[in-house]
Amino acid sequence: MAFTAPDPLLVERFRHDLHAAAGGVPRRIGVAVSGGPDSLALLLLASAAAPAAVAAATVDHRLRPESAEEAATVARICAGIGVPHHILAVEVPRGASVQARAREARYAALRHWAETEQLPVIVTGHHADDQAETLMMRLLRGSGVAGLAGIRARTTLGPSALLCRPLLGWRRHELAAIVAAAGGDAVDDPSNRDERFDRARMRRRLSEAQWIDPLALSRSAAALAEADETLDAVAEGLAAERLSTGEGWALLAPAGVPALLLRRLVTRALVHVAPDAAPRGDQLGGLLDRLGKGETCNLAGALCRGGEHWRFEPEPRRRV
């Protein structure tokens, strides 16, 4: 399949955004390509920006009969532009929360691919419209600073790989135009319009609300991500002064610590004694209220005692 290369100005814009997201242009880049317009545009931009550095992978979730042929189509596209391609087949349990389970399986497969191929950076095609959808859904759920930071521009994917989203400053229609100008046909995934899923409903509502600017929402999410990182850094310094830990216990001095920071210190203490006991939102607020009253309570495997100092330890095993 022959494709026309993207406009050089768009390639330079992408190179700048990749540098910002990844902290430089990496020596090798893994591109996650589903075959949809967003990821195809990402593939075309990345292969033009760093021709010899790009490899691509398609995760076949095997949730639709067409998925195998769609992955094969991406393989043919990659062969046509000289990009090595892998198909990563995964098993996704059916039933409730299928999209969340598919996401977990997808990132596990990409993590393994990055490790196997020694790829320092994996990029995905998330864009400003995706970010706007995420931010609005989390606002409606009452998320705090960390949740409202939305889709992060850079996260860790494994011990030696970064997951980067260099297109968060791009609109969906811009990416579709790149694919159309290149002469390509993108895969149409009907689940993107299936309003049984929250994201599909939000996508339709945002498309109808012309007064909402996804780029402005994306900038807000980026500002909140910066605020979240700042709070984490301050909490790190406070932890050295206020949080003591040992094997199977953590002790926190809460006096005078602002609530936003106290939440982070308590989360650190909980994760130390019981990795599955990291509450969010109202659950965490309720825990802080009870500890502030000097109460003792249990939370997902952790025993928490209030008082002048808050003590955390694993919940004793129940006798059978």
Take residue 74 and report the two structure tokens written for it. 């991406």
Q: Report domain 8-212's class.
A: alpha beta
Helix (H, G, I), strand (E, B) or coil at 52: coil
pLDDT, residue 280, reads 74
CA 22 – CA 164 distance, rounded (Å): 6
CA angle 131, 199, 173 (to 5 degrees): 55
**Rounded-to-10 torsion of CA 131, 99, 281, 235:** -60
- Amino acid letter, residue 99: Q
Report the distance separating Cα 19 and Cα 26, nearest Å: 8
Identify the CA nearest to 78 among candidates 50, 57, 107: 57
Tokens standing for 44?
């075309």
Query: What pLDDT does residue 1 have?
Result: 62
Residue 294 Rama label (left phi>0; alpha psi -120 to 50; beta)? left
CA-CA-CA-CA torsion sign (205, 150, 230, 260):
positive
Distance CA 221, CA 131 (A): 8
| Structure confidence at residue 221 (pLDDT) | 96
Helices (H) and strands (E) in the chain, counts: 11, 11
| pLDDT tens per residue across span 132-143 | 999 999 999 988
What per-residue confidence (pLDDT) applies to 107? 94
d(CA 272, CA 200): 37
pLDDT of 173 reads 95
Q: Are 145 and 228 in contact (CB under 8 A)?
A: yes
**Following DSSP, what letter does each residue of 220-266 receive, concatenated?**
HHHHHHHHHHHHHHHHHHHHHHHEEEETTEEEE--TT--HHHHHHHH
* Domain limits, the chain: 8-212, 239-314
Name the nearest CA neighbour of 151 among 172, 171, 141, 165: 165
Nearest to 178 by CA among 43, 306, 273: 43
Per-residue pLDDT, 317: 74
Shortest CA distance to 43 belongs to which of 72, 79, 19, 68? 79
Q: Provide the whole-model pTM.
A: 0.89
E strands, the chain, are 29-32, 54-60, 85-89, 121-123, 154-156, 162-164, 243-246, 249-252, 296-299, 302-305, 310-314
> Per-residue confidence of the chain (320 residues) as pLDDT tens digits?
668 889 999 999 999 999 999 998 889 999 999 999 999 999 999 999 998 899 999 999 988 888 899 999 999 999 999 999 999 999 887 766 788 888 999 999 999 999 999 999 999 999 999 999 999 999 999 889 999 999 999 999 988 899 999 999 999 999 999 999 998 888 877 777 777 788 889 999 998 888 999 999 999 999 999 999 999 999 999 999 999 999 999 999 999 999 999 999 999 999 999 887 767 777 888 999 999 999 999 887 899 999 999 999 998 876 55
C-alpha pair distances (Å), 23 with each of 17, 42, 274:
10, 18, 34
- Alpha carbons 168 and 17: distance in angstroms, whole number: 9
Task: Give the span between the Cα atoms of 98 and 105, in whole angstroms.
Answer: 10
pLDDT digits (tens, 9 = 90+) for 223-247: 999 999 999 999 999 999 999 999 9
